[in-house]
Structure 1
């Protein structure tokens, strides 16, 4: 039987050898050593039902046999040659992405991380428009490179003391905590309308793109009103500004659509993706309309982007999503999850708001005066872990419980988690 060093030894080595910027969940973190679809196991053999999926990565489940076989078969055949050589997988995956993405998004560029995909999409927008300014949203998160960090509207993730200039932030469409102190629908979506004002008075009218997550993940599972992106797209089109949809966290069936932007009936000019595309394999991509993509002619490559193994994983992921009908699973189980959380909310005022689409759901915890309750969120997340359930937390105040499980989660799993959650809430509210 394999011997593991255990959490204490890992923490000791982490402190000595890992940069301190990398934190971890839990006061008493377990050492995870095994995964099986919607379940995780620690070094003691304890089983956990995973409701966070590695932050929306394992949509098809941990160690999914079908995807694992495709990866192992490819590793044994051809592991790497760089994408400057011809292999089949990367063009076959690009073809599949053109088929499953909305509208006329067609041409892809593969890389390894969501940050890289966003960085590449932003560069493509500059090349196409010959402009260099950007509009982003408050409370958005787009990556950890200098540019993507500068476009991130959450201060805790903006490590760089000298951010890139020419970036303008628009109010995010959070109807529960409206930054403009208005109420929907009487507000007439002023948060979207303000983009017109920002273009007029805060920019040099040299804007390459507007970038947004269709649902803000780290910002607290913030879901815009149905017509928000339509209004935004009208403004962008008027000013010849490209729309980049950051689907790094929201893509691949998570929201009950293949991509979250499809819930809003808008086709972006460029879309980025990562995380669930590889189901644990490091792969990302940005895809664009042909007229936008075709401007990118100066030589560019990614050493590991689109390598045979990662693209084999991507093809297997898309096949499994279709065969297992994970889009419908996300809709059905997501409706069950939201209904169950609403029942708990009726009995416990600590849940101030429930929001999300499909199996990307957030429950915002508040004190009696409706102020954020991050300390209680920490206690509840820890208690849930102790009782065998892994859930996430996010939001600007870190007070939003995040439920983003593998899309293979069962009705019984959700009911069991909801029972444990209500007990944890009762203990700490």
Structure 2
């Protein structure tokens, strides 16, 4: 009886401590002069009912107690009660320059009064102005653009062009990849949580992921990041043995699983997003490109999450891999939340689309192209790539201190404002933190007005991909909240003993 009473008292004390400390942390959120409009729309209860009865059940919610958002401003979101949240996930790396950025809003409103839609069978200025501006961001020979509406469409088109151009269906993707959820791109995706029992992976070879933290090979000298895995390896400066070992599987597929002297496509994310911000060993992508091209194949870099300056050091993620692809797909941050995506390739590969008619009704429409052009302007004018590098590096280094402090933080990784924290039950075995514990931590962060994402094939990675206008003060606040959430976890764990 005494033991039960002690456990109950400990539990209640921990709960009380959490209730008392959370408002104090929230009060320390960096100030913001923006005042959201008073919400007068549908009630939260009505929204919940419609969600349950009329909206596709695949739209899963992250939190036990959902949030009802009604307005956004730069790096912040506001719920229907006017509470402010620091958005560290940005619609899954989508809001690149800030929610409702004033310049982007202004040009969109102006274009709406001028021309919404015609068709690509006519000329209109917006698509040509934007195409010229966008391709200028790419090295030769990547100078031809196709506009679509989503990343799934972009990757679908990239795969289609690669197969037509090479005359070979065989495609290599990496386990852990997420390239879309359409019937075709699902075949390129290799995360079981996103995979339906549906025939979609014709001639697609899903090879071992080159993961320096969770894979068979890799360690302290393998990753292009300020923070390396806390794991020993035998790699030497300028020579990554882990990369060489993972490349053996690429060569095996080229040798045994494709026609003689022929290969179709090698597709990869420059940093895997849904897999939990997974970075490849140094040199891996560059050497994989060389091997694929030697057999007549082409290479596609999926920049849906890494593009437009998010990695800080470079404008495109593939530049961090020191390799120029043949095809690049992009979406999300390209339109700051507006439906817009694109595929950029060479004139030679693009020419295969003349073999028949190809059309995308809304791809490259005046509204989307006007928004895309404004996003490029804002990234440059407000030096958001540089901000991603500076603030992202600060946050990464501060989070690394939490890895040293807390046993549950197994790995901290990423570049710029594309970061991940892998939470584990044991650092030596790298066993994933139980899902309930992980979700409790994410819920604690939400209660402290911090919005994060979930990733990793074991659903144990906190993803940090905020709007690139985030400030150092925001970063300081976020790190303090992470520390408090991890401490709350330890208090709950102690109360169960």
TM-score bucket (shorter structure): over 0.9
Distance (Å, rounded) in 2 between the aligned partners of 1:172 and 1:260: 18
**Native 8 Å contact 2:92 2:465 kept in 1:** yes
Counterpart selection for 2:209 from 153, 172, 187: 172
2:16 equivalent in structure 1: none
Change (3 A) 1:180 1:153: farther
Whether 1:404 and 2:462 are equivalent positions in the alignment is: no
Shift, 1:179, TM fit: 4.5
Counterpart selection for 1:392 from 437, 453, 460: 453
**Native 8 Å contact 2:175 2:206 kept in 1:** yes
1:372 equivalent in structure 2: 432
**Native 8 Å contact 1:102 1:262 kept in 2:** no
User: 1:8-87 maps to which residues of 2 (within 5 A)?
Assistant: 8-87=45-124
Whether 1:198 and 2:198 are equivalent positions in the alignment is: no
Shift, 1:181, TM fit: 8.2
Distance (Å, rounded) in 2 between the aligned partners of 1:228 and 1:8: 50
Counterpart selection for 2:125 from 73, 88, 102: 88
Range with greater deviation from structure 2 (175-184 or 343-352): 175-184
1:154 equivalent in structure 2: 191
1:125-145 CA-partner distances (Å, limit 9, x unpaired): 112111112111100001111
1:382 equivalent in structure 2: 443
Change (3 A) 1:120 1:425: same
1:128 equivalent in structure 2: 165
Secondary structure of the residue aligned to 2:432 is: coil
Change (3 A) 1:284 1:160: farther
1:362 equivalent in structure 2: 420
**Native 8 Å contact 2:173 2:268 kept in 1:** yes
**Native 8 Å contact 1:107 1:290 kept in 2:** yes
Change (3 A) 1:56 1:233: same
User: 1:316-327 maps to which residues of 2 (within 5 A)?
Assistant: 316-327=374-385
Distance (Å, rounded) in 2 between the aligned partners of 1:286 and 1:161: 26
**Native 8 Å contact 2:68 2:79 kept in 1:** yes
Which consecutive aligned stretches of 4+ in structure 1 deviate over 6 angstroms post-superposition?
Answer: none
1:288 equivalent in structure 2: 345
1:119 equivalent in structure 2: 156
Shift, 1:375, TM fit: 2.7
1:277 equivalent in structure 2: 334
**Native 8 Å contact 1:103 1:267 kept in 2:** no
2:270 equivalent in structure 1: 214
Distance (Å, rounded) in 2 between the aligned partners of 1:253 and 1:188: 25
Shift, 1:200, TM fit: 1.2
Shift, 1:11, TM fit: 2.3
Q: TM-score, normalised by structure 2?
A: 0.84
Secondary structure of the residue aligned to 1:281 is: coil
1:232 equivalent in structure 2: 288
Secondary structure of the residue aligned to 2:242 is: coil
Distance (Å, rounded) in 1 between the aligned partners of 2:401 and 2:46: 42
Considering only CA atoms, is the larger Rg found in Structure 1 or Structure 2? 2
Counterpart selection for 2:389 from 331, 354, 366: 331
Distance (Å, rounded) in 1 between the aligned partners of 2:412 and 2:218: 19
Distance (Å, rounded) in 1 between the aligned partners of 2:360 and 2:55: 26
Change (3 A) 1:12 1:105: same
Q: CA RMSD in A?
A: 1.5
**Native 8 Å contact 1:101 1:258 kept in 2:** no
Shift, 1:103, TM fit: 3.6
**Native 8 Å contact 1:115 1:144 kept in 2:** yes
Distance (Å, rounded) in 2 between the aligned partners of 1:305 and 1:289: 19
Shift, 1:203, TM fit: 2.7
Alignment coverage as a number of residue pairs: 429
Change (3 A) 1:133 1:7: farther
Shift, 1:180, TM fit: 5.9
Distance (Å, rounded) in 2 between the aligned partners of 1:119 and 1:6: 39
